[in-house]
Amino acid sequence: MDRFGAHRPVVLRPLDLQSTTILVRLALGMKRGAPRFSARIHAGTGGVPLFVLESLRTLHENGLLFRTGEGEWATPWDSQTEDYDELVLPERVEALLEQRIHALSPAGRALLEPAAVLGVAFTLPVLQAMAPLDGPAFLQGVRELVARHLFVETETHLRFHHDLIREVVYQNMPMTKARTLHRRAGEVLLEKDHTAPAILAHHFTLGEDWPRALVFHREAAQEALARSAYPQARFHLEAALDASEKLPRPRSAIPENEYVELLLAYESVLDVLGERERQAQVLEQLGRWASEQTHRAVRILCRKAAFLTMLSRYDESHAVGRQALDLARSLHDVDGMAQALITLARNEDQRGAPAAAIPLLEEAEALGVRDPGLQAQVYLVLAGALSGVKQYTRARGAASAALDRCRQLGDRRRQVDVLNVLGIVSMEEGLYAQAEAYHRQGIELSQEIGYRFGEMRALANLANVFNKVGDLGQSIRLYRQVLEVCPLLNLNRAEAVVRVNLASTLTAFVGDTDQARELLNWVVEYAQQVEDLSVLGHAFAILAAADLTDGAWDAARRHLDQARDALEESAEFYILAQLQRTRALFYALQGEWSEALRELEHGLALCRKHGMAALEPWMLCMMGWVHALANRADQALAFTQAGMEALSDLEEMDYMMWYYRYVALDVAGHRAEADQALACAVEKFEAMLATLSPAQQAMSREQVPEHREILEAKRRHDEAQR
User: What pLDDT digit, counting tens, does each position of 685-711 carry?
Assistant: 999 999 999 999 999 999 999 999 999
Which CATH architecture does the domain made up of 602-721 adopt? Answer: Alpha Horseshoe (1.25)
Q: How far apart are CA 430 and CA 435, in angstroms?
A: 9
Please tell me the pTM assigned to this model. 0.70
pLDDT digits (tens, 9 = 90+) for 462-509: 999 999 888 999 999 999 999 998 888 777 888 999 999 999 999 999
- In the chain, list all ranges with CATH 1.25.40.10: 290-366, 370-455
pLDDT the model gives residue 672? 93
At residue 500, what is the residue type? V
Choose the weakest-confidence range: 17-31, 335-349, 413-427, 557-571. Answer: 17-31
Choose the weakest-confidence range: 385-389, 458-462, 542-546. Answer: 385-389
Q: How far apart are CA 504 and CA 522, in angstroms?
A: 14
Confidence class of residue 364 from pLDDT cuts 50, 70 and 90?
very high
Q: How far apart are CA 56 and CA 84, in angstroms?
A: 14
- How deeply is 721 buried, as exposed, middle or buried, from its count of CB atoms within 10 A (0-12, 13-18, 19+)? exposed
At residue 656, what is the residue type? M
In eight-state DSSP terms, residue 508 is I
> Is the pLDDT higher at 648 or at 166?
166
Q: How far apart are CA 49 and CA 12, in angstroms?
A: 8
Mean pLDDT across 547-564: 95
Which CATH architecture does the domain made up of 290-366 adopt? Answer: Alpha Horseshoe (1.25)
What percentage of residues in the chain have a pLDDT greater than 90? 62
Q: Is 317 helix (H, G, I), strand (E, B) or coil?
A: helix
Homologous superfamily (CATH) of 370-455 is Tetratricopeptide repeat domain (1.25.40.10)
Q: How far apart are CA 304 and CA 298, in angstroms?
A: 10
